[in-house]
Chains A and B, each alone.
Chain A
Amino acid sequence: MSPALLAANSALADQTKSKTARTAKAAANSGAGKITAVNPKGTPPPIQLIPMAPRLDTLSGKTVYLVDTGFHGSDVLLHQIEAWFSRNMPDVTTVFRRKAGPYAEDDPALWKEIKAKGNAVIMAVGH
């Protein structure tokens, strides 16, 4: 399990342990009365790990889709990446597409097209 995966939750758990220990110690030292309080946190869903898709041996001769999620500037960024491939790896075919639908929504038609015609995806978010 990557430390990054549950950084927030594991950090919270670590914090919880250390702070509970510290505060419990302080309370014991002060002799002040203790009370029991309910943890107000909800219940997070378990995480279903998804194996990553197999990688390519090389991009040469392959088709790379450049997908603009719709944030401002993503198109400019992806067109510059397109230009980089043209200058530096001309045997890579690039296809620019702006994803339909708001940025957090799937675009099943585009995913289908990429699966049928593409070998790899670069998806860019601007801002």
Chain B
Amino acid sequence: MGIPSAPLVTKAFKDLAILNAGKRGMPHERICFTPHPVWGKTPEEVRAYVEGPDPVSGKPLMKEIIDALTAPLSAEDKKSGVVSVSVGPPTYTDTADNLQDFYLNNGYTDFLPIIIPTEERVEAMMKATNHKPDEAVGKMAAGAFPAWSYNVRQVAANAVMAGCRPEYFPIVLAIASSGTASLYSSTNSFAFAMVINGPIRDRLEFNYGIGALGPFAQPNATIGRAWTILSKNLGNGGIPGDTYLGSLGNNLNYNNVVIAEHEDASPWPPFHVQRGFKKEENVVSLFRGLGVVPGQVARGSSANENVQFDYQMSDLFSTFTGFFGALIIADPLVAARLKEQGYDTKQKLIEWLHKNTVQTVKDYKSRNYAYLFDYPRALRGDEPWASWYKMPDDAVIPHFPHESDINIVVAGGQTNAYPQAGNLSYGVSVSIDKWM
């Protein structure tokens, strides 16, 4: 803008603010700090912050702010030009044990033992694709950061580390090509999920039966893990205090929610067909949100001859934030029951859920995410939020803005009729076949 500015940040985000200013090209940006947190404090408490010291510099906060706007610039402050950034040599040579320690100590892993990405293993991994080792695969950022880029070889190293077999590699490439990091900088400790569709589920022996979401098959386990490891190494994600701020973190980040759809047991078309792909195509679809909850906690989930899964799901949704969508993971028994109840298409169920999962405007406005994400969109005139914020408090609005916010997949071993539901938004579907 060419206007002097003083960014004011709470102390908890000191490293994030300083490092990100540097990555954005302003290493000497005059960032001022207040005590943390500001949220939930009374005006009197916040006044004490304003009249007190900057907790980083120890100087009076308002003097810091005024100095930031008025103190003359140094030669360093006025510098322009381009600075390159190194992340080390292309290879490391050492003993296997020392390399294991080295990769762990430098944050290259998920802190579980890895398969060392030797040149031979990386070469073997790359034989599973026709794409050249130096071919660009994509760019990734784990938040509002400058994106890193990567090629086939760099992705292969990460796939090896996660324990992937070479035949899994096209799926890992497809995920990497999406540019979606499974570790995101937000304080909200996001969770991520992937849905695998197509014949590749059987060819690679994905588990979509009993324990479909559990640690019971190598592709489910290692491809999910690869997403997290590559998000760290290729997208520079998962550095606490710098590119990761999740206050509690999320256990699902170890290998994400990997769902191979049980296509043959589903009464409905598979997810990738809904997204415009052919049934025989192999596709990975990615989701982002807050996590997954079991249907057993919903009202209407007691032993009941006439259990109403639609009401159960609607009840689960009422605790979700509408900022993210919903991903229903229905055991085939649940899906079959829903079909018996008249939902012969996924769309019919989605329409019912969208129409019947509602809230008052007052309840909506009380939600954290409404204030944080929707209200600023309303200020910009984005719909439906702009209209929602003009409605009276007792008006009734849908829980999710759009029907398309609700998605359904089928997986599970049919040992009991339990659904799970993720407060997860659909992001993108990527062809796996293109990376073979």
Contact = CB atoms under 8 A, between A and B. Distances in A.
Contact of B92 (A36, A55, A101): A36
B170 interface: no
Interface residues of A, number: 82
Given A20-B92, A50-B25, A84-B51, A76 B43 contact: yes
Contacts of B107: 12
Contacts of A81: 50, 62, 65
Interface in A74-105: 74, 76-77, 79-81, 83-84, 88, 98-104
Contacts of B36: 127
A26 B158 CA distance: 26
Contacts of A15: 105-106
Nearest to A92: B66
Contacts of A37: 91-94, 99, 103, 116-119, 157
Nearest to B66: A59
Given A13-B86, A84-B50, A52 B28 contact: yes
Interface residues of B, number: 114
Contact of B88 (A1, A24, A39, A57): A39
A119 B69 CA distance: 10
A114 B154 CA distance: 44
Given A44-B146, A59-B66, A114 B87 contact: no
A9 B87 contact: yes
Interface stretch (B10-18, B276-284, B353-361, B415-423): B10-18
B27 A13 contact: no
A17 B89 CA distance: 10
Contacts of B3: 53, 114-115, 118-121
A27 B98 CA distance: 8
A57 B37 CA distance: 32
Given A1-B83, A39-B157, A44-B148, A59 B90 contact: no
B143 to A, nearest CB: 8
B83 A47 contact: yes
Interface in B293-338: none
A13 B88 contact: yes
Interface stretch (B198-206, B340-348, B371-379, B403-411): B371-379
15 contacts: A20-B92, A37-B116, A40-B154, A41-B88, A48-B81, A50-B24, A55-B72, A57-B70, A72-B38, A81-B62, A104-B143, A119-B4, A120-B4, A124-B8, A125-B10
